[in-house]
Amino acid sequence: MTQIDKTSVQDGLKSLIEQTYLIEREYKNLTASYMGLQDFIKDIVEILPNAIWVFDEKDEIFLQNSEAVRLGKIFQEIPKKEGEISIDGQIYLFKTNSKDNKLIISATNITAEKRTERLASMGQVAAHLAHEIRNPVGSISLLASTLLKRADERTLPIVNQIQKATWRVERIIKATLLFTKGLNINAQIFDFSQLKKECEEAINFYDYSKEIKFSLNFPKGEYKGDLDLLAIVFQNILFNAIDAIEESDDDEGEIVLSYEKTPNEHKFIIYDSGEPIKDEAIIFEPFKSSKLKGNGLGLHLCLQIVQAHNGSIEITLNPKTFCINLPIKE
């Protein structure tokens, strides 16, 4: 072999080695890119709010996010058919898709959407019933007022009970219509003493049998808000306190409304000695109630009204209190 041939072979080997290193470097880059793409896909799947499972051709889980892992512990077997499934009080919508011999399953929690649909339907029925009942109740209320003028000692207690019953029905109708039609805040300046008077008059109309001591410590001063709607808030919470005492084993009870002022808020704390709160999770849920009396709209409406005034309602369990927070306005 001549010197020229040796040089050519050496150059060829050198070029081959360089090409090998280049291919190896490209392979490593491609592998890193592929791994990065896999991690990127996993990150995308992970941040999705719904559960995602990907099954391979052997029907084994190829990929899943943390929500899928959580649901996998609840479902004994991952449903592989499309449709709605209820479990543990939650409703999930399952959807499937096939791609490259892989089965993709997604599960979305649609409990809130279903609840909204149900409430809208219930609200429409409730509004219709409220309208139908309103006129007859108005006639009964007018008749009771007429009977009151002619009542004697024997019939007076009966007429009073009729008035209290019709007043309660009228409250339920008003709450139902406010829930279905929405709130319209008519803010006017009023004195807190007017709010106290509204509460005292409502308590006199409310029907209860036990000896209850009331202490309503409203502050002196004025506030700009919707007096009628805020009166509903305080009355409903006071009525809930009365009902809690009525349900307790004690023969008597106590309800205290105290007041505190912070730099930013008026705080009204309502305490009662009655039964404790049974289910904190449903307190403000419409059409749900753990009480023997009530339609489940009262406290939900209270929260809506207070929030419409840019306020809030806080609950403590021990001692049991409801705190109505109203912002101090300049």
Selection from 290, 298, 293 nearest residue 235 by Cα? 298
Final residue in a domain of this structure, among 154, 181, 208: 181
Q: Which residue segment(s) compose the domain that 278 sits in?
A: 183-330
**274 and 327 together in one domain:** yes
List the structure tokens of 195. Answer: 């709010």
Number of domains in the chain: 4
Question: What CATH code is carried by the domain that includes residue 90?
Answer: 3.30.450.20
Asked whether 95 and 105 are in contact (CB, 8 A), the reply is yes
Final residue in a domain of this structure, among 47, 68, 83: 47
**96 and 121 together in one domain:** no
**167 and 255 together in one domain:** no
pLDDT score at 293: 54
pLDDT in tens, 119-167: 666 666 666 666 666 677 777 777 777 777 877 778 887 877 777 777 6
**122 and 204 together in one domain:** no
DSSP element (H, E) containing 53: strand 51-55
**60 and 81 together in one domain:** yes
**Which pTM was predicted?**
0.57
pLDDT score at 124: 66
C-alpha 236/C-alpha 228 separation (Å) is: 12
Question: What CATH code is carried by the domain that includes residue 240?
Answer: 3.30.565.10
Residues of the chain with pLDDT under 50: 292, 295
pLDDT score at 326: 94
pLDDT score at 192: 95
**169 and 283 together in one domain:** no
pLDDT score at 292: 47
**224 and 271 together in one domain:** yes
180: left (phi over 0), alpha (psi -120 to 50) or beta: alpha
Q: Which residue has the tokens 């300046």?
A: 189
C-alpha 71/C-alpha 99 separation (Å) is: 23
